[in-house]
Structure 1
């Protein structure tokens, strides 16, 4: 089972007429929905609000088959992110997360709700802000002790915290514990890993860490999947017309996990020895999953069948 821990928030997305549409989101919750739609059993640990947005999350995640591990709904409201899009559909965020439902949980409560037989534990995004980091790392440590792979998406949101240096240092602590890491070019800059070649910068994440795979997303230039002994790079698939990029990275990571699962490679024993063909298929699947999402409004992850059809249509199916 894939177990996730992190934010569930509502994106209030600016429309062309200046109004805002309320879209269910949050990096970790998006990933949870995306990996469940790929057919993997998934559980979400954080509590959801008893407000109307929380009810929508319950319905959405339930429809995808996600197990809600929190024993009861929170009396606190759902977190909000106000999302404005530039001319290219790239989002910027303003966060409202004080006293909200997904943070209404202690370390002891989160560990107590961990389901048995965890294959992979995923976190990242706003769960890595300084105020929440120790709890997040405690839950990750408990999952690792239960035999789970640890997946972390750095997904830094500097507008969410006043002290970027403190935030970045905490994210680096978290990434050192992960077996599977996802970063963007922008994340590398925020982490202070500046290099003329982002691949060189991303490869430093292997140093002194548990990482076996590092996925580096490069926006319109595609992505690179790095292993300790090699790497593969692929461009964005042909025919992708971007509507907006909300949730693209979350869907990418879910597609990567799904492909590794399909290959029987989602284990600590298998990850270090992946051959170039498996790495290429996993990266291609991840890019296809993200590509379908960016052609839709908001984060709307595809089903496994949709990804497979996309790969066949674009001539990229292995």
Structure 2
């Protein structure tokens, strides 16, 4: 099983001047994308028993995502109001006291889990951030860990503490995927992208993936060799869920290659190419709507 660890929420998306609820969250989108791509997919998150929580759980069930180990409480569901500006999503979050924010520990997970994804806004605030970090610390070295900071500045209240947590997660991970904007935020004192890359890779033992929108993605391996993959040429409708689809594509491809412990230029290139192809389908249609396995054959 591939396990996605992080937020499950409701995106309130602006349509014709009104906000319409849709199931979302970076971790949830990744879990759904992995299931659609034909692998056993699970999710660990704090879920709510309210009406929005019902909607989230129904969506996970329909997508065949296992959420058995996600605790459910009577706290509210996190809401993320999303507005598209020039095709890019901008967010405002309502999370205080929510089921996702207030989860304090994850005591169990499927024993047959091969890899875990961490990232997103679930790491910003405690107690949830501490709970996910503790889970990552417990599983580091036992299972493959992919970390995607997926930084949303509007959600961050303690920049220093959050940045420290991100660095700890970077050091634990076997693969780190971040956008060039994420890297600039994490490394505010670095003079340029080259200095940012040097700062991040100096703290890592695994592979760094940098996504660059229409310019594709770059991978930097521990021996400092690089792999660059171009983005697929498509008409972009919006970018919601694109990075989450990349995460799913990377994990699914690495699993299919049996490469979680064999991160070479060839296996990473194959994974990146698959991830870029999947993400191209996501950005070509509205919302976080990742492709099915049949669409990539």
Shift of residue 277 of structure 1? 3.0
1:8 alignment counterpart: 8
Deviations 1:251-293 (A, max 9, x none): 0111111111111112xx322xx1x332222111111111111
Distance in 1 (CA, whole Å) between partners of 2:246 and 2:4 is 16
TM-score (norm 2): 0.92
Cα distance in 1, alignment partners of residues 70 and 276 from structure 2: 35
Structure 1 unaligned blocks of 5 or more: 309-318
Aligned to 1:270: 262
The 3 A distance-change label for structure 1 pair 305 and 218 is same
Match of 1:171 in 2: 166
Give the number of aligned pairs.
295
Distance 1:227 1:120, change over 3 A: same
- What is residue 88 of structure 2 aligned with on the other side? 90
Shift in alpha-carbon separation, 1:36–1:199, aligned structure 2, 3 A: farther
Query: Is the 1:188–1:194 Cα contact (8 Å) retained in structure 2?
Result: no
Normalising by the residue count of structure 1, what TM-score does the alignment of the two structures yield?
0.87
| 1:47-62 to 2 correspondences below 5 Å | 47-62=46-61
Q: Give me the CA root mean square deviation.
A: 1.9
SS state at 1:236 partner: coil
Q: CA deviation at 1:118?
A: 1.9
Alignment equivalent of 2:180, drawn from 177, 181, 185: 185
CA deviation after TM superposition for structure 1 residue 200, in Å: 5.4
- Note if contact 1:130-1:166 (Cα within 8 Å) is conserved in structure 2: no
SS at match of 1:176: helix
Distance between the aligned counterparts of 1:73 and 1:84, measured in 2?
A: 29
SS of equivalent to 1:244:
coil
- 2:293 maps to 304
Does the residue aligned with 1:95 lie in a helix, a strand or coil? strand
Give the conservation status (yes or no) of the 8 Å contact 1:202–1:216: no
User: Unaligned regions of 5+ residues in structure 2, if any?
Assistant: none
